[in-house]
Structure 1
Amino acid sequence: MSAQQLDVKKSWQAIRRHRLLVIIGATIGLLLGVVYAFVRPPMYTAGALVVLPPPPVVAGTTTGSQSIDTQVYIAESGPVLHSAGQNLQPTLTTEVVRDRVKASAVTDDVIRIDAKGTSAKQSVQLANAVAQVYLVFVTTDKQLPGDLGKRTGARMLEAATEAHGGSMLLHSGTYGGLGALLGAIGGAIFVLARARGDRRLRLRDEIADAVGLPVLASVSSYPARDPSDWAELLENYHPTAVDAWSLRKTLHHLELDQKGGQATSLTVISFADDTKARSLGPQLAAFASTFGVASSLVIDQIRSDIHGSATLDIHLNLVDREDPQLAGDQRTTRTIIALSAGTVTAEELARLAVATTADDRTIDGIVVTDPDPLDRTIGRVAQSQRRSGSRFPTLLTGTARRTR
């Protein structure tokens, strides 16, 4: 997969992950568009037709000629527009009339004058006013600039009688939709700008690559906030089928699911401020007891047996993010790191791995709590193998399946 494809994929994942911000941006844009539509109400359009007389015959020819472009220019000239604006009630300035009036040549002898107004009546009056002033200008007895001369015979072919347009529903829908589109684009740009500076690890492959350790499983966290919640977790924890399978795989991979075997122990290391990862140790202890492995939970050297005499001791070790120092001198059979997706950077995870190794402990793997819903990686394939281009298992619903 090329770097460009990866960037596009990550960008799309970032937008989907923070789609609430995009929706908020679209909503704000929609509201602003509707407000703008009410501030600038829809315009009505009316049109009037003026017919010119046949062109004068030039001596020595059988036909005459006249410049229709000149007539269009006269119809849109400042004096015509100024006089037309002054003939309305209320009056309109020349600049306003110029923005609202458009003259065009329908044929070589017919000019169409389209005018816009805030109401149907105003647009009809403005179109007729421009047409009437134009007729005055081209039929005057006085000599006009450019030696236009007297143009008798020009007349109103069709006066404006009705206007069209002005639908407030369509107008507000158009501006509202445009505002929503621009707002969504702005929200997406904001999300991508934030994502470029976000170094937190979200995908299982990213977490595994940061320290070269496999991700053993992914589990949903247990929302425990006070001692009563922790007591409820230890006494009545009932994981979903997917979480139960992930916990069982973790214990089996660590060889800690032997019933009636020799005593074993496990250290679960997590950051103290990672509230979603702190529940993994109690979850493992409570779950192990459900299938016959008596377990105990050890926190700050205080041991609590879950059900009877324990054969599996699970030590919960919380460390500081900036300066991870492992507490306690007792070594355990296995050691794992628990962290939640999107809460740790590669540097922080590397510092924890270094501190664990310096304490003569071997990290056997990582368990990710509350994985990113968009993550389809498994965190068990080496980075060098993924770059080779061969296709590897893709995580779909909590279990790994090999794609064909």
Structure 2
Amino acid sequence: MGEQVVDLRSALTILRRRRAVLAGAALVGAAMGVGLVLDNPPMYSSTTQVLLPPAQDANGQSIERDVATEIRVASSEAVLRPAGAHLSPVLGARAMSRQVDVMAASKDVLEFTAEADNPGRAESMANAVAAAMVAYVQDAASSLSNAEKAGLQERQQTLEKSLTTVNAEIEKALARKRTTNPLSAAGRADAAALGQLTAEQANLSLQIDRVKDQLSGSGVTADAQVIQSATPAARPSAVVRFGVPAFISAMAVMGLASAVIVALARRDQRLRLRDELADALGTTVVGSLHARVPTNVAGWASLLGNYAPSTVDAWSIRQTLRQVMGRGRTDAQAAEGSEGAIKHPDSLTVISLSEDMKGLSMGPQLASYVASVGVETRLVAAQSHESAAALWAACGHLIGGEVRPGLTVDTHDRDDDEAELTVVLAVVDRRDPELLELPRTAATVLAVSAGSATADDLARLAVVADDAGYWIDGIVVADPDNLDRTTGRLLAGERAQQAALPMRLTGLPGGATSHRGSKRRSEQDPSKVAGSVSDLRRRRKR
């Protein structure tokens, strides 16, 4: 559980460090979503509803309707094909299935939603599929076979033709009767014929009604009906049309970018945290500064002559010098300087790695600030590298005069040096480090920026420094990661000896079981435990 929490925290830290990249990925994803909508605009949709007749068994008893079956039937070719045939242009069952969605609004109501690229087409499609569903239900509920229905329909047509013929004969007989003497033989014959035709008309009408009853009343107790015609076709608003796809696409691209960033970061061996840098080199972090990296010779000259750190950085420089002065001047010796002078060793070597421009700027920043507060300082550019050519060129131009009051620059050590603080600069190749004959100083620090070096880089430098007889007294971190909550003041062994802080969920020391916690408490002095409890109560009251 602990390893999972740590892993999640590290992943979140990596993503927060790359939040600008994630923001860019989100913008790209949103643009892709908008482009997709523009290329494939959403269609218009219209809805109809059909009320189904009560479900009955063969004996006419009501039964529970299977909604899933009704939806499958409404989505089948038996309904969609005749619906598509009534459209112009005609659509096949497969095309209809892609553009018509069926759902159950209730157990007895089916809802059809048709989509098309224009409003009229969507409404026509919705009405057609609803009508096809009504027709299918009526056909399915009939007790007659198709052949029987066809025979009845043919008989109905024959009877209707015969009725038409009889009606025409009746009209003729009535016309003759109006012009003929009813007492004559012709009149009596027309009257008799008219009676027979009238009887035949009545008989044919009765037979036609019986056939119609057989066709329409063949076991159907109730018909399906359309209870809602096609609604006015509409499509989502512009906010929904563009906003939803843009959001989904942005989240998808950002998720993919997050996975790639975390995967690449797992393979990145560069050290970013101060505790990691301290553990890799086996010495503590004595200071952290914000770097100011010039890009040319004039920039380095300006940095040496005009550097003015922020209050936080100024205090960090003072703390750095104070922590490494154990091999240099004593507090009493430092107090002998001018009023307000900071405590510092008499000489200091600042080593940086090649291509680490932020780490390279630490030595010049330190020397320039110390000179600005009244300490006679001398900057010695001792060992160069091609990546530091601009700085060495600037130092070469500044030799022979004061860069700023109290600061002089040289390229080698002098025996007649009267400076209170000598800062020696050395830049070594990170892949093939080598320390040349450098002036011996009271203390040595490594200046390195967060995320610029791996543990292998620092280990190679430490081995070379040890072979040359130099002990690195501390690390100065340039531009520490803004998500770094470590200090680098304690090494791994010292941190392990410290009491763990309570966990947020359990209130127990992290990484300690209840057995170990009880044993550790039992070994404590009771007076100390009581004192800590009373202190905690006093703090809570305040």
d(CA) in 2 for partners of 1:114, 1:167? 18
d(CA) in 2 for partners of 1:56, 1:378? 80
Normalising by structure 2, report the TM-score. Answer: 0.65
Shift of 1:382: 2.2
The alignment partner of 1:300 has SS state of strand
Summarize deviations over 1:262-285 as a string: whole Å, max 9, x none: 992211110121111111111111
Summarize deviations over 1:317-344 as a string: whole Å, max 9, x none: 0100111101224211211111100000
Give the structure 1 partner of residue 309 of structure 2.
Answer: 239
Shift of 1:51: 4.0
- Report the aligned-residue RMSD: 3.2
Give the structure 1 partner of residue 367 of structure 2.
Answer: 285
Provide the aligned length of Structure 1 versus Structure 2.
390
- Cα separation, partners in 2 of 1:72 and 1:264, compared to 1, 3 Å: closer
Q: Does 1:387 align with 2:496?
A: yes
Structure of higher CA gyration radius? 2
d(CA) in 2 for partners of 1:276, 1:58? 90
Greater CA drift, 312-321 or 159-168: 159-168
Summarize deviations over 1:112-152 as a string: whole Å, max 9, x none: 3332333332221111011223334444587369x997858
- Cα separation, partners in 2 of 1:192 and 1:103, compared to 1, 3 Å: closer
d(CA) in 2 for partners of 1:273, 1:110? 74
d(CA) in 1 for partners of 2:246, 2:93? 31
The alignment partner of 1:48 has SS state of strand
Give the structure 2 partner of residue 396 of structure 1.
Answer: none
- Cα separation, partners in 2 of 1:201 and 1:86, compared to 1, 3 Å: same
| 1:223–1:276 CA contact under 8 A, matched in 2 | yes
d(CA) in 2 for partners of 1:160, 1:232? 78
Q: Does 1:158 align with 2:236?
A: no
Give the structure 1 partner of residue 211 of structure 2.
Answer: none
The alignment partner of 1:327 has SS state of coil
What are the within-5 Å matches in structure 2 for residues 194-343 of structure 1?
Answer: 194-255=264-325, 258=334, 259=337, 264-300=346-382, 306=403, 307=406, 309-343=418-452
- Cα separation, partners in 2 of 1:181 and 1:104, compared to 1, 3 Å: closer
- Cα separation, partners in 2 of 1:64 and 1:363, compared to 1, 3 Å: closer
Give the structure 1 partner of residue 129 of structure 2.
Answer: 130
Shift of 1:347: 0.8
The aligned amino acid for 2:311 is A
Structure 1: state its 5+ residue gaps. Answer: 393-403
- Cα separation, partners in 2 of 1:197 and 1:46, compared to 1, 3 Å: same
d(CA) in 2 for partners of 1:204, 1:300? 27
The aligned amino acid for 1:122 is R
| 1:266–1:313 CA contact under 8 A, matched in 2 | yes
| 1:68–1:109 CA contact under 8 A, matched in 2 | no
Greater CA drift, 110-119 or 258-267: 258-267
Structure 2: state its 5+ residue gaps. Answer: 150-214, 384-395, 408-417, 502-538
- Cα separation, partners in 2 of 1:89 and 1:39, compared to 1, 3 Å: farther
The aligned amino acid for 1:38 is L
Give the structure 2 partner of residue 118 of structure 1.
Answer: 117
Shift of 1:188: 1.1
**Which has a greater percent of strand?**
1
Summarize deviations over 1:250-270 as a string: whole Å, max 9, x none: 112222683379992211110
Normalising by structure 1, report the TM-score. Answer: 0.85
| 1:27–1:183 CA contact under 8 A, matched in 2 | no
What are the within-5 Å matches in structure 2 for residues 50-199 of structure 1?
Answer: 50-52=50-52, 63=61, 72-104=71-103, 110-139=109-138, 143=145, 153-199=223-269
The aligned amino acid for 1:358 is D
d(CA) in 2 for partners of 1:298, 1:6? 44
- Between the two proteins, what is the percent identity of the paired residues? 36
Name which structure has the greater RCO, CA cutoff 8 Å, separation 6+: 1
The aligned amino acid for 1:370 is D
d(CA) in 1 for partners of 2:4, 2:224? 66
